Chain A
Amino acid sequence: MKLKIFKYDPAMDAESRYIEHEVPFKDKMTLLEAIVWVHENKEMIAFDYSCHGRMCGRCAMMLDGTPVLACCAPITNKDHTVEPLKGHTVIRDLIVDKSAFGDRLSKQYQRIRTEPIKPGEINKFDAAVAPTIYDMANCTRCGVCDAGCPVLAEKPSQYAGPATMLAIAYRFLDSYDQADRELEAVSKGLYHCIMCGNCDKVCQRFEIKHVEAWKMLRAAAEKRNLKPSYAK
């Protein structure tokens, strides 16, 4: 199997290039295993990972044009192209700068309330939505969904992208949150989403159901007559 890997060191190289190496395939191999093999046996590649198990989100990259988490992406015995995650500035080779993305998400995930939760409130939660919010809480914030979103690629100023929308949906379901999340979702482009479901396809946290969440947010928005004119 041949791996074609993106290489770029902005401090040294005039422009990016690709390297190609033959990699011995083995059954049930992950993309991360293949990259480590090249790094250790052929030449140095800058790549980043931490949890080696679908939690930290740091190994996100493009495999043959599709965003994946390298640590849990199966790789087949044919030639492949590996590139840095789409939508972020490359720091070096396969390492991108996701700090602005991460800061934006942190803001979006912050709970908003008039005052802190009191001891008597710990047992008050909408049990009907608890399983859904439990699923959503597993988002690794890897950025794979955004990298695979056709609307975000085309209209980044109108649609904040699936990662942000999921953060909104999470706090929308959070019984302790008091902010107007329906309005926020609509203002951040909920109705620009074309419901193609690519976020569901590329996301490695299989329990997160993005499109269902968007439908839920739209229903809530429409109950309050928040559907924008361009969507009518």
Chain B
Amino acid sequence: MDEDKKNISESGEEKSGVSRRGFLKGVAASAVGAAAIGIGGMGFLGGCSSGSSATSGSKVVASGDAKYEIINTDLLIIGAGFGALSAAFQAVDKGLQIAIVDKGPFRHGGGAGFNWDVISTWETQLGKESRLKNIVNQKIYYNATTTDPYNTANSDMAVTLLNRGECFPDRNSDGSIHWYINYPMVKGVEGSFPRNYHDALLKSPNVTVYDRTMITDILINDGQCVGAMGIYLPTGDFRVYRAPATILSTGGSCWFYGWNTVQANSINSTDNTGDVDMAAFRHGLGIGDSEYASYDFATTYPTGLGFGWSTMLNPDANEYFTICDKDGNRLVTKENGIDLQRITYDRVYFNQEVAKLLLAGKATADGGILVDVNGVKLRPPIKRNIPVFERFGVDVTKEKIPAREEMYEHGGTPVIDEKMMAEVKGLFCVRGAGVFGAGGGSCVSVNNRMGSYAARCAIEYIENMDKISKIDFTPAETEYARIHEIRTRNVNGGLRPHVVRHKIQQACGTCMGIIRQKDKLEAAAKELARIRQEDMPKMIVSNQSKTYNTEWKEAIENYNLLDLAELAVQATLMREESRGTYLRPDFPQKDDANWKCMLVGRLKDGKIFFEKKAMPEVTQW
């Protein structure tokens, strides 16, 4: 977008805020090898360990001189979804000049780039919300809530969102807001549309958006994050963003879970592939909550429409009555032992109960369910999807449509402290580990709350930090070389990126749903280790042009998906209990004595190690 817009330069040298500097140094081949090849080990997980260690099979090709532009900003925000936008509103309200980097076209990137009919929810009794039980960092909730100028934890949030352009068109006949969810602890309204926030944010003259730009690494100098870097996709140019503080909010990555014709088993976005979280992981930062995800059910027929939130039926906890077992009988019923009120606000409970019923022989042959919407009053956004089926000759009121669980959110993010800061100074994570814990990912209201809090923390940090006296761009040159080696790699019998990706997805598709069986997890762990050792060095991009090279992008993303997949599978294996949104049939109970903790995965000498971390609890509220 608007690159000429003024940003304040820290040094004061570059008034335009966009300085262009070419680096003519050669490429450091050895450093590239280390960065590109990544990890292979299994940490200390006995039993399932293949013991593979880092490979050095790929040849490093020096791809010419590293050339990049340097963009300076007061505050760098990576991502343009709910979390990032909330941080952005807070930062511009405090007068900062911010740069937003979005991998997708702005307004169209990630989950919030789907202009979907969001249910916005608010907790009404502070300190009592059910998600505080999900092994979360309660201090974050306390701090964020008690300092929140936007009231994101109570019903006044409606005013905030209305002032960000919402209309809340779901109204009663007297014009008042129709509360779709109105329980003692939770209130919720249908019909929020995320693009209102993108539009509203652009009213501020303090925002510069750099969209269609994929951040591939963070810039770390002496244990301090001083920015990030990545590719401007339309041209393939490399950009380095300099900032005293960086806020990370790049969404939940579900894209490693299964593969169909055009989609993973997920309604989430192709954009969210954990790129920056996994860059942080490769820098040695701890990653938590990798085993946790959020699930609903999605129809899978016709195949191209499957798992698309506005092309499917979405038998989630709100439409539990459309869920049927393999024989077409209603599955989520009192008779089957389910508390029908609790499922609407406790997704963990919902998933576990459904998983138990499916395991008890109620599932269809492919492990899924059937959906029956005949005679049922559907939520407006789902009702709107029926004509899509009709265009494909499918009458959903006459046929029961096959469905299965889909992963719509996922954890697997850097561990943060109570001020939202990762294990490296200057990097703040809106959806950091401990924000959602066993809840598995995040949701709109938590993103709203934690986004603005992350910005307040970042601003406080900037105000108190020591002046950056020296900046070293060598890491940018290393990263430049790494990604261009991926683009120009030449291997006999090379594998195109989608081939490698589908293997990762298929491995996880068997074991990362709401039922996670040991033998399948172990097989997946083995396959992922094999992919890392054998396939990744052979991954080639068939067309090496730098212009919007989707294959190159996919190849870079595969490193992140693979890291994330290994973390997820291994953390699940390690956690010998059932907690959160999934069920391990071999350990069906929750085991607080041993596992009431976060599992933090960390890369050391090319291997993943896990450590247990207790989460702070708060009682004062």
Chain A interface residues (CB < 8 Å from chain B): 9-12, 27-30, 32-33, 36, 39-40, 43-44, 46-58, 71-72, 74, 91-92, 95, 97-99, 102-103, 106-107, 109-111, 116-119, 121-127, 130-131, 133-134, 137-141, 174-176, 204-207
Contact = CB atoms under 8 A, between A and B. Distances in A.
A137 B192 CA distance: 9
B114 A125 contact: no
Given A29-B304, A36-B261, A206-B387, A12 B108 contact: no
Given A109-B165, A207-B384, A12 B173 contact: no
Contact of B159 (A119, A138, A207): A119
A10 B106 contact: no
Given A40-B498, A46-B549, A140 B115 contact: yes
18 contacts: A44-B543, A50-B113, A50-B271, A51-B116, A55-B114, A55-B310, A57-B108, A102-B108, A106-B199, A110-B199, A111-B165, A111-B200, A121-B162, A123-B177, A124-B175, A134-B380, A175-B175, A205-B384
B107 A134 contact: no
Summarize A's interface: helix, strand, loop or mixed.
loop
A181 B309 CA distance: 32
Interface string B293-330: 00000000011110111111000000000000000000
Contact of B267 (A11, A47, A53, A205): A53
B308 A10 contact: no
Nearest to A142: B108
Interface string B125-160: 000000000000000000000000000000010110
Interface string B105-124: 11111100111110000000
Contact of A28 (B158, B392, B542): B392
Contacts of B337: none
Contact of B162 (A29, A117, A137): A117
Nearest to A174: B167
Q: Which of A52, A103, A107, A133 has the most CB of B within 10 A?
A: A52
Given A110-B202, A119-B159, A125 B550 contact: no
A113 B169 CA distance: 18
Given A125-B171, A127-B173, A134-B169, A46 B550 contact: yes
A29 B235 CA distance: 32
A44 B312 CA distance: 29
B1 interface: yes
Given A28-B304, A92-B548, A137-B193, 15 more contacts: A46-B548, A50-B108, A53-B312, A55-B308, A58-B104, A72-B304, A95-B550, A103-B1, A106-B199, A109-B196, A130-B170, A130-B171, A133-B169, A138-B193, A176-B167
Contacts of B165: 109-111
B310 A53 contact: yes
Contact of B115 (A55, A91, A134): A55
Interface in B53-110: 104-110
Interface in B170-206: 170-177, 191, 193, 195-196, 198-200, 202-203
B1 A125 contact: no
B542 A95 contact: no
A28 B553 CA distance: 30
Given A11-B545, A122-B159, A33 B303 contact: yes
Contacts of B465: none
B109 A50 contact: yes
Contacts of A55: 114-116, 308-310
A36 B501 CA distance: 14
B172 A134 contact: no
Nearest to B549: A46
Given A11-B547, A51-B310, A97-B234, A33 B304 contact: yes
A109 B175 contact: no
Contacts of B523: none
B401 to A, nearest CB: 12
Interface in B382-413: 384, 387-388, 391-394
A52 B263 contact: yes
A53 B173 contact: no
B16 interface: no
Given A36-B262, A48-B550, A119-B159, A99 B545 contact: no
A204 B174 CA distance: 31
Nearest to B546: A11
Given A10-B547, A125-B175, A53 B311 contact: yes
A71 B107 contact: no
A98 B545 contact: no
A141 B176 CA distance: 28
B206 to A, nearest CB: 16
B165 to A, nearest CB: 5
A140 to B, nearest CB: 5
B303 A126 contact: no
A189 B196 CA distance: 24
Interface string B570-603: 0000000000000000000000000000000000
A111 B202 CA distance: 12
B19 interface: no
